[in-house]
């Protein structure tokens, strides 16, 4: 079918923050033991003087080098993000300027499912003959969204950006997206800081997260997505080589592993070192698996993510790395 993944880049902030450091910096009442036991997280990267724009530019440059593609060959840029330092221009436009291209560049916001939504858009563009070298960027500065006095939420997230080059190919076997609308369980109100004479300024709030409700959604949506993907493709669970699951909480993944009865060895994790990086989680897993050779040509990958909205989706890809 439609597309193949062809080059991956990952950019992380310089500062790695352990659970103990986080407790010390914020003054919240927590412990390394609680965070590790309840989430599987031991550290995360947090921006200090870097911007999300810079991380995205770095990830994009690295992905293009990895794909052996000259920036001038990029003919569409999609950035999946809840927002960068500028509301406008988009993060995608910043990357276009950085790599020096004049192709279409647009942001989309599907929270933690942004990478899978971007793949769907890219597949459509390729099918229509609209683009051949699509640069997908996922990037989030979660540390700038969360409430650092809310110990249930602030310990969960990390910052970073990843980029993947997508080209025509036959890797994509399956892609399903859905929304189970619930706009209360995770939300954040952003202040529109213009000064309209006809309306009052909007309230601004940091991210609000109803952890237990999200947890339950995540476990059931993940189980449903994986089962539907396997049924649709008429595959047995063990015919999938790697399950790349959005890294929201290790316990969410463990629950699903138990309920689905699939070997935990098939579930690579990076939440221990990165926390929840939203849409960056899955491409970051891919990046790491490429680097340490745990992913081989011909391997079948099932990706599954869920996030604010509630958005949800899954995709099956046969790994066919770029020919150089």
Of 6-14, 79-87, 213-221, 257-265: span binding ligand UT7 (CB under 6 A): 213-221
Q: Choose which of 214, 244, 245, 262 interacts with ligand UT7 (CB under 6 A).
A: 214
Cis peptide before 292, with omega less than 30 degrees from 0? Answer: no
Q: Output the CA torsion 296→300→306→309 (10° steps).
A: 110
Helices (H), the chain: 19-26, 32-39, 52-67, 91-99, 114-127, 151-154, 211-233, 250-260, 271-274, 281-291
Contact between 215 and ligand UT7 per CB under 6 A: yes
Contact between 211 and ligand UT7 per CB under 6 A: yes
Q: Choose which of 79, 155, 226, 282 interacts with ligand UT7 (CB under 6 A).
A: 155
Per-residue mark of binding to ligand UT7, 25-54 (x: CB under 6 A) = -----x---xx--xx---------------
Region 257-286 residues binding ligand UT7, contact defined as CB under 6 A: 276
Contact between 253 and ligand UT7 per CB under 6 A: no
**Cβ-Cβ contacts under 8 Å for 72 (sequence gap 6 or more):** 100, 101
- Taking CA atoms, 83 is separated from 87, 116, 184, in Å, by 7, 17, 19
Q: Is 156 exposed, middle or buried (0-12, 13-18, 19+ CB in 10 A)?
A: buried
Judge whether 112 counts as a catalytic residue: yes
Contact between 216 and ligand UT7 per CB under 6 A: no
Q: Choose which of 5, 22, 136, 209 interacts with ligand UT7 (CB under 6 A).
A: 209
Q: Output the CA torsion 12→155→258→228 (10° steps).
A: -60
Contact between 148 and ligand UT7 per CB under 6 A: no
Catalytic annotation, residues: 112, 246, 276
Kindly list the residues in this chain that would bind ligand UT7 in the complex (CB under 6 A). 30, 34-35, 38-39, 112, 151-152, 155-156, 209, 211-212, 214-215, 218, 248-249, 276, 307
């Amino acid at each position: 079918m439609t597309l193949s993944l062809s080059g991956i880049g990952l950019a992380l902030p310089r500062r790695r923050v352990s659970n103990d450091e986080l407790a010390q910096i914020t003054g919240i009442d927590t412990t390394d033991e609680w965070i590790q036991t309840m989430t599987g997280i031991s550290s995360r990267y947090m921006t200090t003087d870097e911007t999300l724009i810079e991380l995205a530019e770095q990830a994009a440059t690295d992905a293009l080098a990895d794909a052996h593609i000259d920036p001038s060959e990029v003919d569409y840029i999609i950035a999946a993000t809840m927002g960068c330092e500028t509301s406008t221009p988009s993060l995608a436009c910043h990357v276009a300027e950085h790599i020096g291209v004049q192709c279409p560049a647009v942001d989309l916001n599907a929270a933690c499912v942004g990478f899978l939504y971007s793949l769907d858009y890219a597949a459509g563009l390729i099918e229509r003959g609209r683009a051949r070298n699509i640069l997908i960027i996922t990037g989030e500065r979660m540390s700038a969204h969360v409430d650092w006095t809310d110990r249930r939420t602030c310990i969960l997230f990390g910052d970073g950006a990843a980029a993947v080059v997508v080209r025509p190919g036959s890797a994509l076997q399956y892609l399903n997206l859905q929304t189970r609308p619930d706009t209360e369980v995770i939300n954040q109100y952003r202040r529109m800081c213009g000064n309209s004479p006809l309306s009052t300024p909007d309230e601004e709030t940091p991210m609000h997260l109803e952890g237990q409700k999200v947890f339950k959604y995540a476990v059931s949506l993940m189980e449903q997505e994986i089962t539907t993907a396997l049924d649709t493709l008429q595959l047995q669970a063990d015919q999938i080589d790697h399950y790349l699951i959005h890294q929201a909480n290790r316990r969410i993944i463990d629950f699903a592993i138990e309920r689905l009865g699939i070997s935990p060895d098939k579930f690579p994790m990076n939440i221990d070192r990165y926390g929840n990086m939203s849409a960056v989680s899955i491409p970051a897993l891919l990046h790491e698996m490429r680097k340490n050779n745990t992913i081989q040509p011909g391997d079948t990958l099932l990706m599954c993510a869920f996030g604010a909205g509630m958005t949800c989706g899954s995709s099956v890809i046969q790994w066919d790395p770029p020919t150089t």
